A and B are shown apart, each in its own frame.
Chain A
Amino acid sequence: MPLLIPQLPKGPYYGILAEFGTPADLYHACERVRDAGFTRWDAHTPFPVHGLEGAMGLRRSPLPWIVLVMGLMGAAAGFGLQWWVHARAYPLVISGKPYLTWPAFIPITFEVAILFAALGAVLGMLGLNRLPMHHHPLFQSRVFERVTDDAFFISIESWDPRFDPAATGKMLESLGARSVELLES
């Protein structure tokens, strides 16, 4: 199940938040957390860190497929509209050309395809990311305010089967965390 669907926590805690100093520290820590078998966890960075998806073991995003489908639908819609208007609804002989003048239909077909594809990309991305989500338990942490500035974090949610308030925290410290915080749900 995707991580970002909210679920009922196990107990009073949301999870643990650990801060790291550099992208390199975070990268190595993520590899260890992934190898340790955690599933309900995430890393947080102020900018996309190169290769971190691999270190976390994430699968490729399905977004390109969503965009392709939307693009094809857009092309069909654009061409369909023009065909219907010029060959069906109100056919007119314009500059002596036939009704179904496909060369002249290409520009708009292309533009509508791009429009649908772009909408697919943006709405698809927001949907896959479960955005907007203005409230999240992580925001209660004061340290977390720097996630959009220069701090790097790993958060492990309490409903991960391997989560344990004490042991998980110690493990993260051993991986080089600057600070570890237990968050209420």
Chain B
Amino acid sequence: MVERDRVALRPEQATIPPGHPWNRLPVIGAGAALLGAVGCAVLGAGNPKQFFFSWLVSVLFFVSLTIGALFFVLIQYASQGGWGIVVRRIGETTFATVPVMAALFVPLLFGLRDLYSWAVPGAAAQDALLRWKAPYLNVPFFLIRAGLFFAIWSFIALAYYRASRRQDETGDPRVSARLRRFAGPGLIVLAVTSTLASVDWIVSLTPHWYSTMFGVYFFAGSFVGFIALLSVVVVAMRRARLLETIISREHLHDVGKFLFAFTAFWAYIAFSQFLLIWYANLPEETIWYKARMQGSWMAVSILLMAGHFGAPFFYLMGRTVKRNGATLAFGGAWLLAMHFIDIYWQVMPTLHPQGFRPSVLDAAAFLAVGGCFVAAASWLMRRQALVPLRDPRLAESLAFENA
């Protein structure tokens, strides 16, 4: 086997050409964001609680995609995986939007009392458990932690993003070596911060509840969400005649395999958490699931079981589906929607315990947050190469073939 020659792609092969419709994505994203923001302002004024909950769901959804992207890219570096180099830039672009997400988190700070019962002044006085948790669940510490999480994630994200883009120009292999060396500690920091963030932002909605599995559950959902996003973006790029010769069926197949595997992993985590709480039947733990099985929430729970696991599992099992852009992208889009429903189902029963009560604000918040995310990510895409042009192991990734 001959030593693989180092391949350097020319920038024109891997950027969005001028005049390409994707150049308009930032404006489209900004437009959607504006529409969503107006909707939120108009409708939210009369119903602030609903606004804050809808906003929380959408922010959590898009933040989870960035967390998933961070995990994916750091794991690729740490494990020296070869196939994923071609799609790594998509992950990097996704997590480079973390500072934007931090800004989008700010509106929630005005609604902490609407969202979290422990943030209501005087709540701890009447509740012994809240008194116990007060050293952790108090507004100032919550704010400091949120700031810390976003600062740490931004630091890691921007460091990796910038280094990877600089390597496009220099082709310096030491960059890869350095990023690989820090990926391990980076993953540990990411695991700890994302776990605590999920406890702060989701678990504390039900302040008497607790689950040691929740950090893993949040990770599993985020990872599936990102891989789903990746599959949609990769197929869309090929459809838009970007990177057609660079991303092959083999890469689609591998993205599909990851999607399949982590859908199953999510189901395993979600079910384990449920089974253990259901089995022991302790009231302090079952309250969370009871709230999500009441009224029409039961239908949503069943939808998640069948739609987030059942159907995608059998759909993504076969080889043909994973190797075809249209079928893979459909699966990815479906799972993205399911991940959103998962987050919705985790958050909303606190506001609407009687049942599933969709609101226009849900859509408005999604447009606002999602529009900003799309605008930021696509703006970055216009100014960069879509693959790591001079990654030393790009050739291996390009030539990659599945069994």
Do A and B touch directly, given a CB cutoff of 8 Å in the complex?
Answer: yes
Residues of A within 8 A of B (CB): 68, 95-97, 103-104, 106
* CA gap between A96 and B278 in the complex, in Å: 12
A106 near B281: Cβ-Cβ < 8 Å? no
* CA gap between A95 and B281 in the complex, in Å: 9
* CA gap between A68 and B278 in the complex, in Å: 30
The reply on B360 being an interface residue by CB < 8 A is no
12 extra interface residue pairs, beta carbon distance < 8 Å, beyond A95-B281, A103-B271:
A68-B317, A95-B279, A96-B281, A97-B281, A103-B274, A103-B275, A103-B278, A103-B279, A104-B275, A104-B279, A106-B271, A106-B275
* CA gap between A95 and B278 in the complex, in Å: 11
Residues of B within 8 A of A (CB): 271, 274-275, 278-279, 281, 317
> Nearest chain A CB to B289's CB is how many angstroms away?
11
Chain B: CB-nearest residue to A97 = B281
Chain B: CB-nearest residue to A95 = B281
Instruction: Please name all residues of chain B whose beta carbon is closer than 8 Å to the beta carbon of A97 when the two chains form the complex.
Output: 281
Chain A: CB-nearest residue to B274 = A103
> Nearest chain B CB to A49's CB is how many angstroms away?
13
* CA gap between A184 and B271 in the complex, in Å: 61
Report whether over half of chain A's contact residues are helix, strand or loop; otherwise say mixed. Answer: helix
* CA gap between A68 and B275 in the complex, in Å: 26
Chain B: CB-nearest residue to A72 = B314
> Nearest chain B CB to A53's CB is how many angstroms away?
10
14 A-B residue pairs with CB within 8 Å: A68-B317, A95-B279, A95-B281, A96-B281, A97-B281, A103-B271, A103-B274, A103-B275, A103-B278, A103-B279, A104-B275, A104-B279, A106-B271, A106-B275
* CA gap between A60 and B274 in the complex, in Å: 40
Chain B: CB-nearest residue to A96 = B281
* CA gap between A92 and B317 in the complex, in Å: 38
> Nearest chain B CB to A108's CB is how many angstroms away?
13
Instruction: Please name all residues of chain A whose beta carbon is closer than 8 Å to the beta carbon of B278 when the two chains form the complex.
Output: 103
Instruction: Please name all residues of chain B whose beta carbon is closer than 8 Å to the beta carbon of A68 when the two chains form the complex.
Output: 317
* CA gap between A106 and B278 in the complex, in Å: 13
Instruction: Please name all residues of chain A whose beta carbon is closer than 8 Å to the beta carbon of B271 when the two chains form the complex.
Output: 103, 106
* CA gap between A106 and B309 in the complex, in Å: 14
> Nearest chain A CB to B198's CB is how many angstroms away?
23
Chain A: CB-nearest residue to B275 = A103
Instruction: Please name all residues of chain B whose beta carbon is closer than 8 Å to the beta carbon of A104 when the two chains form the complex.
Output: 275, 279
Instruction: Please name all residues of chain A whose beta carbon is closer than 8 Å to the beta carbon of B317 when the two chains form the complex.
Output: 68
Instruction: Please name all residues of chain A whose beta carbon is closer than 8 Å to the beta carbon of B275 when the two chains form the complex.
Output: 103-104, 106
Chain B: CB-nearest residue to A107 = B275
Chain B: CB-nearest residue to A65 = B318
* CA gap between A103 and B281 in the complex, in Å: 13
Instruction: Please name all residues of chain B whose beta carbon is closer than 8 Å to the beta carbon of A103 when the two chains form the complex.
Output: 271, 274-275, 278-279
Instruction: Please name all residues of chain A whose beta carbon is closer than 8 Å to the beta carbon of B279 when the two chains form the complex.
Output: 95, 103-104
What 8 pairs across the A-B complex have the smallest Cβ distances? A103-B275, A103-B278, A103-B274, A106-B271, A104-B279, A95-B281, A106-B275, A96-B281
* CA gap between A9 and B275 in the complex, in Å: 62
Chain B: CB-nearest residue to A51 = B401
> Nearest chain A CB to B263's CB is how many angstroms away?
15
Chain A: CB-nearest residue to B276 = A103
Instruction: Please name all residues of chain B whose beta carbon is closer than 8 Å to the beta carbon of A106 when the two chains form the complex.
Output: 271, 275
* CA gap between A104 and B278 in the complex, in Å: 9
> Nearest chain A CB to B400's CB is how many angstroms away?
13
> Nearest chain B CB to A107's CB is how many angstroms away?
8
* CA gap between A137 and B215 in the complex, in Å: 61
> Nearest chain B CB to A93's CB is how many angstroms away?
13
* CA gap between A96 and B283 in the complex, in Å: 14
> Nearest chain B CB to A106's CB is how many angstroms away?
7
Instruction: Please name all residues of chain A whose beta carbon is closer than 8 Å to the beta carbon of B274 when the two chains form the complex.
Output: 103
* CA gap between A96 and B280 in the complex, in Å: 11
Instruction: Please name all residues of chain A whose beta carbon is closer than 8 Å to the beta carbon of B281 when the two chains form the complex.
Output: 95-97
* CA gap between A106 and B268 in the complex, in Å: 11
* CA gap between A73 and B278 in the complex, in Å: 27
* CA gap between A95 and B271 in the complex, in Å: 20
> Nearest chain B CB to A73's CB is how many angstroms away?
15
> Nearest chain A CB to B275's CB is how many angstroms away?
5
> Nearest chain A CB to B265's CB is how many angstroms away?
14
* CA gap between A106 and B271 in the complex, in Å: 10
> Nearest chain A CB to B305's CB is how many angstroms away?
11
* CA gap between A13 and B142 in the complex, in Å: 85
* CA gap between A68 and B318 in the complex, in Å: 11
> Nearest chain B CB to A75's CB is how many angstroms away?
12
* CA gap between A143 and B275 in the complex, in Å: 60
* CA gap between A7 and B279 in the complex, in Å: 60
* CA gap between A106 and B274 in the complex, in Å: 12
* CA gap between A95 and B282 in the complex, in Å: 12
* CA gap between A96 and B279 in the complex, in Å: 10
